[in-house]
Structure 1
Amino acid sequence: MAPDMSLDRILQEITTATNLNTLHQTLKTGLPKESRDTILSSPLASGQDPLNILDLTQNTLGVLYILCVLFQMTWSITHHAFRAARLSVTNIAVHPQVITTFCATFLPEQARLAPERVTALAKGIYRYGLSNGSTSWAVQPLFNLLTRYPPDTSYLTTIHPVFLQACVVASQPSAALPILATPIANVSTLLSDLTYNDNLVYHYLGGVALAMLKRWADAEEYFEICVTAPGSAPAALQLEALKKLRLVQLISRGETTSLPKYAHSSLPRMFKNSVYTELINAYPQNIEKLHGLVDKEKPLFSADKNLGLIQQAIERAPRWTLRKLTATYVALGLADIARLVGIPSEDDVRSLLLSMIEAGEIFAQISASGTVTFSDPPPQFSREEVDSVLRSAQTQSALLEGLDMDMARSREFITKAVKGQDGGGMWPGPEEDLYAMAGASGPWAEDSMFA
């Protein structure tokens, strides 16, 4: 292809190509490197935008190149530094509807020929929404891109972390739930130019989105996946994930748990030297110290984006202290509970108790005199659980009955059983007749067998 080839000629190549692999190589390497971006970002000779001429579905590969060539950029989770083009500084304005339509209708088979362009498109969509103050707009096209591009969403792609970033920044964490519901089980470098960091960022942001929704158990799982990802040395993001993991555990459990053995051994040591260890050691009993620590380290906690989680943990601290009391005391007065929990008002303690009883977190009764009597939770079984146990029992019963019948048909077993009943000292040989050994009475009698 001549170095001075116009966009009109390229458009003809795109619309008439019968071999997509050849077209891909033409678009990728066939244009002069120094003028490729200029050519692909220019209008047609007629002044028309090529995106208005091309079929956004049938010409997926060509559209992808034209959309992406001028918004090559760099993107990171902590510093949004971009080298943007067509979607932000452009010779031809790209209407958002073009991007939305393309993401909803593109042909995945064509897009998979140029995975690096799909990555650039995803980052460009996010950048476009961010720069225009409408990150929420970017969520839907990114969702369509993510759900349509890989064979299924169990394949990790470079779109995953960008989509999660958009959901978190746009305060739309619930939009990520259909994606987060499918664990990552497959990785293919043919689908995406993946890096180690993509996995960390996706699971870290997944934990953030789930924590925003107060789905603590799920958030804990995602943060733990990020923290325990194997590597020669811990990444900075893994330490940040560990901080959030510990705070989520305080909120949902009232205490922290040990990391799996396969986590990098340096991480616990790095975390131990942080102020978060002091906070955990004071939790949940020492409310006064917790508040003092937050006041002292507020700039640090804010910079880590953890102040909201810490405040939620402190709000729940009295609940965890109260639950521990139920394991020690049978009955306590409201005044005693207020003192032990660190709540000055008995009315506030009563409200806390009632809310915990209603939520099923504790089992207790409050007398008119203000005495609280704790009790063990009553055993509760749902109808579904009972039916499941009965079905399991019936299955096991049928299995045992089958085994019993198989054993009853065993010549060796019958021989030994009958000889034992007769008190004989010698076992009959296998050549003896089964019915003769059994005799005319008992379960092997003719009237029993054929009844």
Structure 2
Amino acid sequence: MEDFVNNVRNFSSQGQFSQLCEYMNKSWTFLTKNVSNLDAALEALDMQEHSLGMLYILCVKVSLLQSSGVATDEEFDQIFSQVSLFTSQCVGEQVQYSTGNFAQMFHTLTQELCRKNIPIRGIKLLCMGIGKVQTHAAQLTSLHSDLCQLCLSAKCLKPALPYLNTEICDISRENGWYESKHFLSYYYYGGMIYSALKQFRRALYFFEQVVVCPASTVSQIMLEAYKKYILISLIAEGKCIPLPKLTSQVILRFVKHYSTEYNEIVQAYASSDPAKLTSVITSHTTVFTSDKNLGLVKQVAVSLNKRNIQCLTKTFITLSLSDVATRARLTGPDQAEFYLRQMIEDGEIFSTINQRSEMVSFYDDPKKYNTASMLKEMDRDIQSFSELDRKLREMDQSIQVNPMYVQKVKNVSTQEDDFELNSSSSSTSKSSSLLSRLMFK
């Protein structure tokens, strides 16, 4: 173990971190056989000078924690404290040489925290870990999905919002350890978080990203995301929004085949008949409960009632509560008043209710769009679009100089030139043949 520590010190002092990674990978088996000496090795190393070496030792300890499956609470607390201290004080430049191992350590800790039913303890740690792996704020890492999973399990959603609200334009490769499941999980969990916060349009976008992800086969997470996509689109838009044309046909055929109950909800919703929708929900309650979508399904039923009321505001200026209930197909004036009050409070409609006459008056949007706050909002949107345009230009430039892209373009242009040459030769030969026949004639 002394030789191991000395080698870590020598590689680190010379700045040979790539060579240190190779040495540590070869020493993995040795470290797993000397677990009792790992804490002594950690104490012999300096956090600022030997962050990479300490990372590998902690990775070994965490991996053994998972493989044993019988670690006591004291042992887990010790390892968790060591990882927390390391994450807060380690040198990010050294960690970047082995982001794959760093991320895997956090994946294992996330599973253990959820298994022990203490996910809230890991939220702050994951936020620190993301900061060590990211090279810029708009980069997606595999730790993002772990953070969202912990936030959902702990029912503490706000810590994930700064990351979810940041538009992603790059994905961390993590030394080849990044997998598609991390991408799918991030957007799936993100969609669930936005759904819980009733930010349905944002949730719809996140679930869409899961379904349209290029794939030759469909994973379970894609199917679950599609089911939620249907329900959220009904709540947010009042209809099932078709998926983009870039969606694989294999995916479309598969998910539609295994979501027939949800397609029945779409058809019932389109009829604008709450009774018909309730009948479909009742007949498939077991399926929706099994999919853990019953809560969303009930919100779909509520949204249909509200949408029927919103349609009345486009036609009528005043109506009695009884007329509202009849035209919106509600059970009675009390239910109509309940929905009206809720919609007025949420700003979904602009209306007043006269309690004495039981009459409802509908108004246009009283909001004026010439205020200072509105101008600030417009300016913020313009800056956001400008930043998006800048990022797209940078991505376009990087693609144009990518060797793989250049080679592909060359191959395509060569094939086109050959095709044109063959076509020209064929045309010339045909013309010569025709000319010779005319001459002989």
Q: TM-score, normalised by structure 2?
A: 0.75
Cα distance in 1 for residues equivalent to 2:75 and 2:306: 59
- Structure 1, residues 184-211: CA drift from partner, whole Å, max 9, x if none? 2112425551122221111111111121
1:37 match: 32
Report the Cα offset of residue 34 of structure 1: 5.1
Which residue among 170, 181, 185 is the counterpart of 1:197? Answer: 181
Which residue among 296, 299, 307 is the counterpart of 1:320? Answer: 307
1:332 match: 319
2:394 match: none
Structure 2 CA distance for partners of 1:199 and 1:326, relative to 1, 3 Å: same
Q: CA RMSD in A?
A: 3.1
Matching of residue 225 in structure 1 with residue 209 in structure 2: yes
| Structure 1: gaps of 5 or more residues | 1-6, 74-81, 392-451
- Structure 1, residues 369-422: CA drift from partner, whole Å, max 9, x if none? 33334344356213137868999xxxxxxxxxxxxxxxxxxxxxxxxxxxxxxx
Q: More displaced, 48-57 or 244-253?
A: 48-57
Cα distance in 1 for residues equivalent to 2:353 and 2:119: 50
Amino acid at match of 1:27: M
Amino acid at match of 1:275: E
Matching of residue 381 in structure 1 with residue 376 in structure 2: no
Matching of residue 102 in structure 1 with residue 86 in structure 2: yes
Report the Cα offset of residue 251 of structure 1: 2.2
Matching of residue 54 in structure 1 with residue 45 in structure 2: yes
Amino acid at match of 2:230: R
The answer as to whether partners of 1:230 and 1:263 remain within 8 angstroms in 2 is yes
1:23 match: 20
Alignment: residue pair count:
371
Amino acid at match of 2:288: F
Cα distance in 2 for residues equivalent to 1:34 and 1:240: 39
1:256 match: 240
Report the Cα offset of residue 346 of structure 1: 1.2
The answer as to whether partners of 1:56 and 1:106 remain within 8 angstroms in 2 is yes
How do 1:296-311 and structure 2 match up within 5 A? Answer: 296-311=283-298
Structure 2 CA distance for partners of 1:269 and 1:20, relative to 1, 3 Å: closer
Cα distance in 1 for residues equivalent to 2:282 and 2:49: 59
Which residue among 160, 173, 177 is the counterpart of 1:176? Answer: 160
Structure 2 CA distance for partners of 1:255 and 1:305, relative to 1, 3 Å: same
Cα distance in 1 for residues equivalent to 2:158 and 2:377: 35
Report the Cα offset of residue 91 of structure 1: 12
Matching of residue 64 in structure 1 with residue 55 in structure 2: yes
Matching of residue 147 in structure 1 with residue 131 in structure 2: yes
Amino acid at match of 2:263: T
Secondary structure of 1:113 counterpart = helix
Secondary structure of 1:109 counterpart = helix
Cα distance in 2 for residues equivalent to 1:200 and 1:299: 26
- Structure 1, residues 34-60: CA drift from partner, whole Å, max 9, x if none? 544213x2326xxx6433443334321
2:393 match: none
Which residue among 262, 265, 272 is the counterpart of 1:279? Answer: 265
1:370 match: 358
Cα distance in 2 for residues equivalent to 1:180 and 1:195: 19
Structure 2 CA distance for partners of 1:238 and 1:333, relative to 1, 3 Å: same
Cα distance in 2 for residues equivalent to 1:390 and 1:131: 46
Query: Is the radius of gyration larger for structure 1 or structure 2?
Result: 1
Report the Cα offset of residue 309 of structure 1: 1.4
Secondary structure of 1:372 counterpart = strand
Structure 2 CA distance for partners of 1:155 and 1:259, relative to 1, 3 Å: same
2:6 match: 12
Structure 2 CA distance for partners of 1:91 and 1:309, relative to 1, 3 Å: closer
How do 1:282-293 and structure 2 match up within 5 A? Answer: 282-283=268-269, 285-293=272-280
Report the Cα offset of residue 27 of structure 1: 1.0
Which residue among 343, 360, 364 is the counterpart of 2:330? Answer: 343
- Identical positions, percent: 25
1:79 match: none
- Structure 1, residues 13-45: CA drift from partner, whole Å, max 9, x if none? 22343222222211112x3x6544213x2326x
Matching of residue 247 in structure 1 with residue 244 in structure 2: no
Q: More displaced, 296-305 or 202-211?
A: 296-305
